[in-house]
A and B are shown apart, each in its own frame.
Chain A
Amino acid sequence: QQQVRQSPQSLTVWEGETAILNCSYENSAFDYFPWYQQFPGEGPALLIAIRSVSDKKEDGRFTIFFNKREKKLSLHITDSQPGDSATYFCAANNNNNAPRFGAGTKLSVKP
């Protein structure tokens, strides 16, 4: 089932820095890529998503860069805040299927 891979497994940045989380996938049929944010004790919540027809999606401090040819994407969090400390999951799906999740990147933002 591991069709989506994420790196690094964990990441620590200082407040104000840009955190970069990487994701790659295998199935070229995937065309929708949501990123979910999960805090301890809670279920994951959609943060931002991109469709394969786009190469960039921006929402405030969160930006997805997408490279269809290389089957890679990344989530950039600019001006990182301690409140951004969470685990981030990259997912991928297509049509009416359920998304496949990566193993997650645990982000820690130090004040």
Chain B
Amino acid sequence: DAGVTQSPTHLIKTRGQHVTLRCSPISGHKSVSWYQQVLGQGPQFIFQYYEKEERGRGNFPDRFSARQFPNYSSELNVNALLLGDSALYLCASTPGPFYNSPLHFGNGTRLTVT
């Protein structure tokens, strides 16, 4: 039973660069959410996508964008990277758009911006 998979697992970028993180949900799950987790903090909501449409957006600048593909996989893009973007980026999937069913998390992508 493949869980939520994220790639890459680790990434090092320099300030000003662009990064793309990828996520594949559990088979049959149509909703993908993205979270940023800074060391010592809880996950902070970035986006939710359901059926390729944005269903929720957190308080992040426009440098952050995402999309969902017809196979329900998703990409998170971050432009003009800042040192403060260094964090663990988590992807989670659910069958539908609501959180009354459990979020299934991936292992995350550790992004380091130097």
Real binding pair: no
A residues with a Cβ closer than 8 A to B are none
